[in-house]
Amino acid sequence: MDKSWIALGRTADGRMSKPYNDGVKLFLQFAMGVIDQNGNLLCPCIKCVNHGELRVSNEAYHDDEMRLDGDEIVGGIEALVEDRIRGKLTDTTQGEEMRTFDQLLTNAKCELFKNCTNYTLLKFLIKVLNMKVTNHWSNKSVDMMLEFLSKLLLKENLVPKSTYEAKKILRDLGLSYELIHACINDCVLVWKENATLDKCPTCKTSRYKINHGRGKKIPHKVLRYFPLTPRLKRLYMSRKTAKDMRWYKNKRVDDEILRHLADNDEWKEFDAQHPEFALEP
């Protein structure tokens, strides 16, 4: 398929020209002729092969499902927990931690209430806390909702009674974060050498809100920091994401065309400076 008309779109005059308009119309006609069984139009990428180019044979795409030996399919929440347990097993963790992970696996399979096919306890908790963050719900509002649901649903349901209980269950998945106070004017983070300061060293603004000496000090602004190292460990802990993380080394076609971060000069320079690190994908 001729795509020379695309270059004309770089200028205003080119986009108004007849060859450009004819090219757009031809492409749309071609694209409308390549639809799936549900009548949906495929996107114009290499994966969908909807713009006339040959698919690159680099096995860059694979099924979203993860398979164990045989035909058993593992995915979703259960796979998350299983990979978490598998990662901990490599650290020779035993005793109390193993009992904790056994409980996580149970929660990943346990129905929220009898004959509930849509949500296990773990899936329900992740959904609720995701809605909390997305909609900026307070702990009090979530507590009220959980209490209401525990009374509304069948008597022997597993809905936790509070936000604290819900977070306590999910904490064992390793999805925690660190709270770091910050200057209200975004000058500095109050940590490391600034950890003990009550005022910003730059603008001298108070670290805390005024509470007239009553109760706990409340910071003006808080940063939720997700440490990088445990996240990288988690990415390599999961069978599916570990495969994706190594794709740049094992499956990428290095044809000197910029398709991936690994094709970037900065990536190559880093590898040159740290050859031993670069050898281990």
What confidence tens digit (pLDDT) does each residue in 28-66 have? 777 766 666 566 666 665 555 555 444 444 443 344 433
CA distance 48 to 36: 10
Structural tokens at position 4: 């020379």
Query: Which residue do the tokens 């450009």 mark?
Result: 20
First to last CA, the chain: 38
| Confidence label for 72 from pLDDT (cuts 50, 70 and 90) | very low
CB-based contact 120:77 (threshold 8 Å): yes
**Is pTM beyond 0.85 here?**
no
For residue 81, what pLDDT is reported?
Answer: 63
Mean pLDDT of 141-152: 92
126 and 77 in contact (C-beta within 8 Å)? Answer: yes
Percent of the chain residues topping a pLDDT of 90: 19
More confident residue, 174 or 201: 201
Question: What local confidence, expressed as pLDDT, does residue 66 receive?
Answer: 39
pLDDT attached to residue 182: 94
Q: What is the mean pLDDT of the chain?
A: 77
DSSP 113: S
Residue 203: is its pLDDT beyond 90? yes
Lowest mean pLDDT among 16-30, 64-78, 92-106, 195-209: 64-78
pLDDT of residue 133: 84
Please give the residue that has the higher pLDDT: either 271 or 83: 271
CB-CB neighbours of 142 under 10 Å: 20
Calculate mean pLDDT across residues 6-35.
Answer: 76
Burial 207-226 (b: 16+ CB within 10 A, else e): beeeeeeeeeeebbeeeeee
Q: Which residue has the higher pLDDT, 33 or 234?
A: 234
Quickly state the pLDDT bin for 89 (edges 50, 70, 90): low
pLDDT category at 214 given cuts 50, 70, 90 is confident
> Regarding predicted confidence, which is higher, 234 or 126?
126
Q: Do 66 and 158 form a contact (C-beta atoms < 8 A)? A: no
